[in-house]
Structure formats: C-alpha cells, structure tokens
Chains A and B, each alone.
Chain A
Amino acid sequence: MSTTPVLALRGVSKRFGAVQALTDVDLEVHAGEVVALVGDNGAGKSTLVKAIAGVGPADAGELLWQGVPARVGRPHDAQDLGIATVYQDLALCDNLDVVGNLFLGRELKRSGVLDEVEMERRSRELLATLSIRIPSVRIPVASLSGGQRQTVAIARSMLGEPRLVILDEPTAALGVEQTAQVLDLVERLRERGLAVVLISHNMADVKAVADQVAVLRLGRNNGVFDVATTSQEEVIAAITGATDNAVTRRRARSTEPKTEAPQ
C-alpha cells in the first residue's frame, strides 16, 4: 500500500529471562484496515500487544506512528497517541462499578470534582450504541458474567476516540450473539476509518472481518497474507509451521496432487 501506515513496527524484540518471546517482529496497520494477528499459543501475540500498548515495552525495535518514530514507554504514551487496547487478561477493577471502569484513568470532571452524572449518562449511551446489555451500570464489575466483563472492556477501549484499536482475543469468552456483535463492531470501526488489530484463534472470525492476516510463529514473523486471496489452509500451515515442512513444499511445487507420504 502506498499510504503511510498508522502503526508500523520494525524489528521488535522482547526477552523474558530465558525466553526470547519476540525476535525481529515487523507489523504494519493502515487506517481503515483490520489486521488479524494469529499464531499458536505462546507465539508472542499478547507480548507484542503489550509492547505496543506500553505495558511491557520492547527491548529493541522501532515503533513508527503515522511514519514518525514514537517512544511508548508507559501505557499513558500509547493512550496519548490514540492506541486503545483490550487485553486478553481483562484489565478491569472488580471493585469499581461499570462507569468507574469505563472512565478509569480519564474521569470526567466538573469544576475539579468527578462528574458522576455525566459519566453515567455517557456510559449508558455508549453501552446502548454498542447494544451491550448489562444489569446496571452501577454494580461492581465483579458481579458481571465473563462475557459481560468482556463487553465492558471492549466498550472501554471505544471511549477515548482512538485511532488504533487492539483487541486481544475479544471473543474468547463470548456467546454466539455477542461474538457477532463484536465482529459487527470491528467492521464499524473499520468503516469509521480506524485501524484495528484483532487477535483470534478462530479462523472463521478472522476470515469474516480481517483484511490482512499477520502470522507469528515462535516469536517471529511467519508471513502476512491477504485474506481475500489466501485459503484458510495456507494460513493454518503458516501458524503451525507446516510451510517449513519439506513434504508440503514439495507438494506446493508439484502441480498434480499425489498420494501423500506417510507421516
């Protein structure tokens, strides 16, 4: 693509003690584009998300925000750039109510005092536009179901007028109806010109909403695919590393299908 990506990562590496979680990872996300980030368990997806969001900064590598190098050392830096993140391990405070969680870290004030009324009004409005149903915006988040908590976490990321939304397995805990709603939401974000990074293990979801699929394998890039022109098998092969397999390479080269070698 010719336009400057909203977010570009170059050579990001991150190490946890003996584990090299990320090695030289590149990623590009454009405005109005949904990039699915896929990979096996432990591939480093969440680690990459935390590096972008400033929660666990990378050891090496570069982050370009709209083409300009930016430093994201704290969660605040990412928020200031316009990056909103929904974490896999939900970052909600169980003791605060829904309103308190939605506005945590960016509370509305009225002459220096928390404006609970306005925050409550906006929360109800936001939840209504996202068709999120919860018993009350004034009960502690601890008393919501897993899926309801997830929808609150997603709604939270929509509040600050972000440019880039990162969703780390947002549908993992959701029912059929709620999953459909989240996917609709992702499409609406793209229509509004936002950039979206969607992490999911569900290939059907990825196929339904993503434009590009970036594959991570053992902490390294393992290909970026265009969803429209790539088959699901190719993506899965990249995830599992089957593309490195001599048999599959040979099969890809040969035109006529042969009987497979015993595995």
Chain B
Amino acid sequence: MTTDLSRTPGDAPDASSGPTPPATPPPATDPRLLVRSDGLAGYWSDFLRRMRSGELGSVPVVLGLAVIWVVFWLLEPSFLSAQNVSNLSVYIVGTGLIAVGIVFVLLLGEIDLSVGSVSGLAGAVFAVLAVNEGITEWLALLVALLTGALAGAVHGFFFARVGVPAFVVTLAGLLFWNGLMLQVLSSDGTVNLDKDGLVGSMTSHFFTDVAAAYGLALLAVLGYFAAQWSEHRRRVGVGVPARPLSEIAVRTGALALAAFLLAYTLNQYKGLPLALVIFLAVLVVFDFVVRRTTWGRRVFALGGNTEAARRAGINVTAVRISVFSLAGTMAAFGGLLIASRIAAADQGAGSGVLLMEAIAAAVIGGTSLFGGRGTVWSALLGMLVIGSISNGLALLGSPSHLQYMITGGVLLAAVVIDSVSRRTQRSAGRT
C-alpha cells in the first residue's frame, strides 16, 4: 500500500485539484498473503515457493528414481524389460509392507528396530501352524498377524507407559523375537510352504487376463479423478480455495500415463501380480487413514509437538501404543509375503539387511526421521529405489558388497536431504 505523504489523513479530497484518488483505505487483505494465481502458472510458482522453503516432499526421490532407471537401462537394456519390471514389483512388496509400518513410527518421531525379527517370527508362526500343525491357513495367517500386533503392543507399552526409549525397547525386541522365532522353528529348521496355498499364492499368483491390469489402472485413474473432482466441487461450493481444474487434469493425466504404462508392461509378461495388488491396496488404505482420520491427525500431532498434543486432550499413550502395534502387524504381514516369495520359513528370516532396508525405504521415500512429516507412499517410492538398485546391480553381475555400499550412500543422501530441508524450513519459518 502506498501512502500519499503530501496529504494529511484528514484531508478531504479536493474536487478542484483534478483526479486525485481519495485516500486509500487499508486493504482488507494483507498484500503479502500467499494468493495463488489461477492455472498452471500459479501451480508452478507455488511449487517453486515450496521447494525454496524446504518442503521438498517426494520430489528428490522421484528425480533420483528416474536417474537410477535411466542409468541401469543404459547399462543393461533388459532392466526395463517386462519380466524384470514384473519381478521387481513382486520383490519390493514384502519389505515395502514392513516399511509402511515404519512410516507410522517415524511420523511419531520414533524408531522401531524390531520389525525384521517380528517379520521372521510371523513367517515362522504361520509355517509351523499351517504346515506342521495342519491348521487352516486363514487361521494361521490371523494368528501370525496377531503375533506381530502383540509384539508391537508390548514395545508400545514399554515405550509409552513405562517411558523406556523406543530405540532400546525395540532393540531388546530385535533380540527377543529373533530368539523366539528360532525356538518356534527349533525342531524343524526350515519349513517349506505350499506354493499354491493362501500365503504361497500371495506372491506366485498372477492375474493373467490382460483386462485385470488395465481394469485396475482404469479404476485407479477414475477413483483419483472422482475424489479430486468431488473435493473441488465441495470447496467451490462453500467458497474455500480449491485446486484448479487444470491442476487436477494434469495430475490425473500423469497418474493415467504411469498406471497404463505399468499395466501394459506387466501384461507383456505374466500379467498383474497379486502381491502388487495387495501392496497398492495397503498403501491406498493407509494413505486414507493417515490423512483423513482423527487417528492419523493425532499421529502427526504427536510427531510435531507431543506436549501440544497432550494439552489438546489427545491420549498420547494410546496413540503411541497403537502405532507400535500397527508397525508390528505390518512387519508380520511383510514377513508373510517374504516367506511366500521364498516359499519357506527359515532360520535366517528377518535378519540381515531387511531391517535396514525397511527403515531406509521409508526415509529415502521422503518420511522425516525427525517426526511429523511424511507420507505412506514413501514406503513404495523408497522400496522402488532400493529394489531397483539391488535388482539392477544383480543384472549387471555386481557383487552384493557393492549393493550395500550404494544403498548406504543413497540412505545417507536421503537423510542429508531430510536434515537440510528441515533446517531450511526452520529458517524459512523463522522459528
């Protein structure tokens, strides 16, 4: 707002002095307000503003993924072959499900080191019950998932109720549940699963009809568009800012391109893998839970400022226990898919790089280690990065130590981006 210094505020506009405007009243809205101009230009400037202030979101990981794919494709064209893409999409599911649970724990600003052991335990429990004891597979599956939920609830109890740091509780859990798994498997060592059984088919079943993959892609695109459209209509209806239609069109178009390209590729091989359907369904459900339910909002609030959440009347203990219990359940689910992929529960399950990969996936995918920032989709994006690296290196015939070093480097890069963007946000946020 410009003020005419030559007039005192009380001056009445003088009719004889020509077209001088009357003293401007203070604007109703602050001129510095972030008003987004319409259309794609507005979207672009808003995007740039967010990048500058450190709200990077999924941008670094998507760029990184593109680079990884181009590099491996140039080195080994079969990397993007239908068969390899299909294998990759099944490979990432087990660890990816574990990473979904880790995302929730990271949103709290905590860590769960036990998920690898819990996943191994769940696989062993299922195998022993279903194969050795001959219990119905559905029931065995349920017991295995409940085992994970219970293990997580125990961690949550000691963390939230007793006040032991989550790091220590889950480190103890890592040892304890691994020991329990060895005991469960003791008499048998390795238990082979029925490839065509309930759990076995989770990774071995493919929907061979081409309509399945295309149908799912169509469903995803239509569902996304419908959700965005109805939200747009409602927002316009009550007069709050809405996503411009052009942006919705671009987003839907991008999703359609990715979905149909993937469906086409998968149909060139065995069709749509059941494992991928399971993973995507879990992601959609939990994305909804985290963004659209009170519980999800509480998880974010705890990650942002626990004391503020407590003063707002949120039951901090209950939310914490439920998050750890969810992480245990997802670890168990992931463990079942890993057992399904190798068609066995063995004594090495849940050890080695599994835990590191699950945590790395969540962080690489853009979920902050500092709590309160992230999305469920980072489990997918991060697992795509990790899976692509190990798969690509294997295709090139590289030894596994190289894979560890590269994945370690990528994790470090992700954490650096996380820390730097947090710092940028702080300085941009003047807090």
Contacts and interface: CB of A to CB of B under 8 A. Distances in A.
Contacts of B310: 55, 75
Nearest to B372: A95
Interface stretch (B215-223, B255-263, B301-309, B387-395): B301-309
Nearest to B239: A121
5 contacts: A75-B311, A91-B307, A93-B305, A96-B300, A145-B430
A74 interface: yes
A95 B33 contact: no
A94 B372 contact: yes
A143 B430 CA distance: 6
Give 9 closest A-B pairs by Cβ, nearest first: A105-B312, A93-B304, A95-B372, A95-B304, A142-B429, A143-B429, A91-B308, A76-B313, A105-B313
Given A106-B312, A114-B292, A117-B235, 15 more contacts: A79-B313, A93-B309, A93-B372, A104-B301, A104-B314, A107-B297, A117-B231, A117-B240, A121-B239, A124-B240, A135-B30, A135-B32, A142-B429, A142-B431, A143-B53
A92 B308 contact: yes
A93 B308 CA distance: 6
B29 interface: yes
Nearest to B307: A91
A139 interface: yes
B285 to A, nearest CB: 13
A136 B55 CA distance: 15
Given A93-B308, A117-B238, A100 B314 contact: no
A131 to B, nearest CB: 10
A79 B30 CA distance: 33
Contacts, number: 108
Interface of A: 53, 55, 74-76, 79, 85, 87, 90-96, 100, 104-107, 109, 112-114, 116-118, 120-121, 124, 133, 135-136, 138-140, 142-146
B300 A114 contact: no
A87 B53 contact: no
A120 to B, nearest CB: 5
Contacts of B371: 95
B221 to A, nearest CB: 22
Nearest to A85: B311
Contacts of B34: 135-136, 139
Contact of A95 (B234, B294, B300): B300
A87 B14 CA distance: 51
Contacts of B425: 140, 142-143
Given A91-B305, A96-B300, A96-B301, A53 B240 contact: no
B155 interface: no
Nearest to B370: A95
Contacts of A124: 240
Interface string B405-431: 000000000000000000001101111
A107 B300 CA distance: 13
Interface in B345-388: 371-373
A132 to B, nearest CB: 11
A144 B235 CA distance: 24
B293 interface: yes
A3 to B, nearest CB: 29
Contacts of B373: 95
Interface in B276-322: 291-294, 297, 300-301, 303-305, 307-314
A93 B301 contact: yes
Given A121-B239, A145-B430, A104 B308 contact: yes
B33 A136 contact: yes
A97 to B, nearest CB: 10
Contacts of A91: 305, 307-308, 311-312
A55 B309 CA distance: 11
B113 to A, nearest CB: 24
Given A117-B231, A142-B425, A104 B309 contact: yes
Q: Which of B240, B292, B303, B371 has the most CB of A within 10 A?
A: B240
Interface string B309-342: 1111110000000000000000000000000000
Nearest to B49: A139
B300 A100 contact: yes
A53 B309 CA distance: 14
Contacts of B32: 135
Contacts of A92: 305, 308
A244 B240 CA distance: 59
B429 A133 contact: no
A146 B429 CA distance: 10
Contacts of B305: 91-94
Contacts of B430: 143, 145-146
Contact of A100 (B30, B238, B297, B431): B297
Contacts of A96: 297, 300-301, 304, 372
A94 to B, nearest CB: 5
B54 to A, nearest CB: 9
Contacts of A104: 297, 301, 308-309, 312, 314
A57 to B, nearest CB: 13
A94 B431 contact: yes
A90 B33 CA distance: 23
Contacts of A76: 313
A138 B291 CA distance: 14
A186 to B, nearest CB: 21
Interface in B177-236: 231, 234-235
A113 B234 CA distance: 15
A113 B293 contact: yes
Contacts of A100: 297, 300-301
